[in-house]
Structure 1
Amino acid sequence: MTDPLIAELRDEACKPLLERLVKKLKRGGPLTGVCQLRKLTETQRVRIKELTGSTSRGPDISVNLADFDGIIRNTGRFDSLQALVEATAGPIVNVREERDADSAAWEKLWDEANQRVADDDLMVRCVADLRQSGWLKKVTKREPSFAIELFTQSFDLMKRLPVTSRPLAVFAAECLGDAHALDAGTILSRLMLRLIAAKQQVDIPRRASGRRRMWESVGIVIDELSVSALAMNLPAVGDSLSDKMLRQHHAGGMPCRLTFRHLRLHPPSFTLCTKSKSKDRLIYVCENPSVIAAASDRYRAQCKPLVCVEGNPNLACLNLLSLLTTAGYQLSYHGDFDWGGLRIASRIHKSFGFIPWQFNAVDHQKATHRCNHRNMRLLRPPKATAIWDPALAQSIDQSKIAIEEEFLIDDLLKDLCAG
């Protein structure tokens, strides 16, 4: 049976008084002093005065909380006014104490995070940015325990990166026991992209394509079926599914597209005869699909081995180039004569090396003389270098124009006939 004092304080007429007392306790203050209650109805004034022993006159009531506390104690049913309020309203959280505890927990979190990355200036800066921006507090709904878990997982994952061509789901399952833990949109995935971006000193990607490329930059493939390599007439000699696909496409004079999954589960074999002449060791590599399409149209099965990186090469393409160069083949590369083309080429050169295929300063100057400058796209910064031929970058800079592979297809095709 409910205590009469509790029932009285819970009554609708006494609601203004109860709300004020609860609010005072939540702020961490003692139930002392005078509680002013204004704009009360006649019923509320009568009931509150009867309960508290207030002698106020007029429309407003002043409740002396010390006197009210004495009245409650004298009943012998509650030790204090605070005990009555807590019994009436239920457990009351001290907001100030909770806020102080929350602040202390976050301070501890940031201190521990800084200790874990103390030897990495880029990560220290990233932690500072996360703290200043408030992003982590927002996405974790101010739950420091959740944030600590995220930091622990993300820092452990960063120690494992980069990896060698791993599907995202496989990587997540191996490291976290949950294949979907790093799916797009999860807080852990978003935090990882922030850490990777900080490590690489680049902006956080906002588009799906940018996020995919950032994962690929550390060896992770988001979707192994949508990431693929485009090639034609490669010297496949094995019995895997990829080998058979390459040979069948070669027989039909058609380019072949191998997904990352093909290359991971059914890698092709490229065995190079030790007596092969240097020209037979070459694998031509172009930047744009229009080149491989034109080569297929003109030469079909008689086209020399050709790989297309399709712009900035993805992990499937890099995987394929690695298989070829590991087998002893030499890449011969051509790309766009612009800053983006040089950056792509430099990435390939640093990874595998290559022989320039009509892709040095002399070749650029010849191409510049043949092109109509009025119809050419102007160069877009930032500038880039050509580590295989520094003079090429100087020549491109002086020309002020970009010359794409499509303008030079006829010249490139002359080198691709194997007949």
Structure 2
Amino acid sequence: MSWIADPALGRIWAVLRERVEARGLRAEGRIVLTGLTRAERHAATTLVGRPVTASRLTIDLAELDAWLAERSGVGGLVAVLEAATGAAMVDRRALRARRAAARESPFTLARTLLAGQPWLQEWIDELRRSGTLSRTADPEAAVRLAAGALARLPAATSRTELATAVGGDAHALDDGTTAAALVLRALAARSGEPVPTTTADRRALWERYGVRVDLISTTCLTLGLRATGAAGARLDLAADAGDPVHLTPWDLRRCILDPPATVLVCENPRVLEAVAERFGGRVPVVCTSGQPALVVLDVLAALAGARLRYHGDFDWPGVAIANRLIAEAGVVPWRMGAGDYLGALGRARLPLAGAPVEPAWDAELGAAMRHHGVAVHEEAVLGDLLAAFE
């Protein structure tokens, strides 16, 4: 037994241990040792049971295992290596397999919980690339929470209420949590959009699916609206002065809007600004500022009874916004027909970009836009819009 502790075998034990652990604790194959010193050759002679006279030695691990099992008094190669190095052997092959299974288990769980979703594989591929799940101590718990939240969307709720419902913790879906990142990446894949990288973009994506992040971060740009209630006086003063007002969900909780007969709903803030410059607060306007946030839809819903006339950009994103507002807010397209588009072509030469979107209100408009391939933004027809209110 004393020969096992011979310091001259230290390098040989290290090489043997590394090879046997890498092969799943199986004594198989051969190793070649080179540059053996005189002391190492002498110690190796006892180890392999034959004279070692050269500085190079080839060891068949299976033969060595059998030799040690018969002569060492300790056991085979694995037992001897543990005795010689003072540490239990590690099956690195099995360890790699367990780690690989652990890395794969949250994806397997996601496939089970979200089976049938057309965006699922894209989401999983994105999670692999981003390493999002590698940054949490319990990736399966994060997947379960995210899947629970996704199953409830779209839904009109707050983020804290959604987090409480699916995770029992009002902060479980806060910015910075793994579960929130998983949900947002899934919603981006579902929408065919890039993963949001800014606070504003993340909030907008939450709101696209009905989830309100808070009551004060998002606003709806308005002009000429009046109301009763705690915020009513401020709105009335702004309407009298012709000043635009940004309404928050907090404001809407503190007032009741008075629906005028007709409201212009526009896409671009410049249109509202120009109406304010020309007419003050006499022409009520609600601006979506691009893709409408939840608060915009809330304002339009609060104006039930008014005729909501919508004008936006003649481009594919503009058509998508109009389609959404028609479906969700009951707006009526105004000066948004094929004839209006054709009449404005001479004032714009912006190429149409992106995938075509069929206008729900006018198939001829879609055909004309595809034929000409030109985008016409609201600013290009601003003079006509203003003249319509004279």
TM-score (norm 2): 0.81
Give 1:346 deviation, angstroms: 1.3
- Cross-structure match for 2:154: 162
Is the alpha carbon distance of 1:101 and 1:267 closer, same or farther for their aligned partners in structure 2, counting shifts above 3 Å?
same
> Which residue identity is paired with 2:243?
M
- Cross-structure match for 1:393: 366
- Cross-structure match for 2:14: 18
Q: What RMSD over aligned residues (CA atoms) do the two structures have, in Å?
A: 3.7
Choose which of 208, 224, 237 in structure 2 pairs with 1:217. Answer: 208
Q: Secondary structure at the match of 2:19?
A: helix
> Which residue identity is paired with 2:360?
I
Choose which of 19, 24, 27 in structure 1 pairs with 2:23. Answer: 27
Choose which of 263, 269, 275 in structure 2 pairs with 1:283. Answer: 263
Give 1:291 deviation, angstroms: 1.5
Correspondence 1:72 to 2:75? no
Is the alpha carbon distance of 1:286 and 1:121 closer, same or farther for their aligned partners in structure 2, counting shifts above 3 Å?
closer
Correspondence 1:253 to 2:242? yes
Is the alpha carbon distance of 1:387 and 1:151 closer, same or farther for their aligned partners in structure 2, counting shifts above 3 Å?
same
Correspondence 1:358 to 2:356? no
Q: Percent identity?
A: 28
Q: Secondary structure at the match of 1:237?
A: strand
Is the alpha carbon distance of 1:360 and 1:268 closer, same or farther for their aligned partners in structure 2, counting shifts above 3 Å?
farther
Correspondence 1:94 to 2:84? no
Choose which of 310, 315, 323 in structure 1 pairs with 2:294. Answer: 315
Is the alpha carbon distance of 1:33 and 1:308 closer, same or farther for their aligned partners in structure 2, counting shifts above 3 Å?
closer
Give 1:104 deviation, angstroms: 5.8
Q: Partners in 2 of 1:358 and 1:35 — Cα distance?
A: 83
Give 1:399 deviation, angstroms: 5.1
Q: Partners in 2 of 1:135 and 1:116 — Cα distance?
A: 18
Q: How many residues align?
A: 384
Q: Is the 8 A contact 2:297 2:329 kept in 1?
A: no
Q: Secondary structure at the match of 1:385?
A: coil
- Alignment map for 1:262-301 (pairs within 5 Å): 262-263=251-252, 266-271=253-258, 280-301=260-281
Q: Is the 8 A contact 2:68 2:75 kept in 1?
A: no
Choose which of 56, 59, 79 in structure 2 pairs with 1:60. Answer: 56
- Cross-structure match for 2:143: 151
Is the alpha carbon distance of 1:260 and 1:115 closer, same or farther for their aligned partners in structure 2, counting shifts above 3 Å?
same
- Cross-structure match for 1:305: 284
Q: Partners in 2 of 1:393 and 1:287 — Cα distance?
A: 19
Q: What are the superposed Cα offsets for residues 8-35 of structure 1, whole Å, 9 maximum, x if unpaired?
A: 26x4752332331353144224447876
Q: Is the 8 A contact 2:3 2:46 kept in 1?
A: no
Q: What are the superposed Cα offsets for residues 310-363 of structure 1, whole Å, 9 maximum, x if unpaired?
A: 1221222122112222xx222111112333322211111111222333333444
Unaligned ranges ≥5, structure 2: none
Correspondence 1:378 to 2:351? yes
Q: Partners in 1 of 2:135 and 2:271 — Cα distance?
A: 54
Mean Cα displacement is larger for which, 89-98 or 183-192?
183-192
Q: Partners in 1 of 2:384 and 2:126 — Cα distance?
A: 53
Q: Secondary structure at the match of 2:95?
A: helix
Q: Partners in 2 of 1:25 and 1:401 — Cα distance?
A: 66
Q: Secondary structure at the match of 1:359?
A: coil
- Cross-structure match for 1:349: 326
Q: Is the 8 A contact 1:25 1:31 kept in 2?
A: no
TM-score (norm 1): 0.76
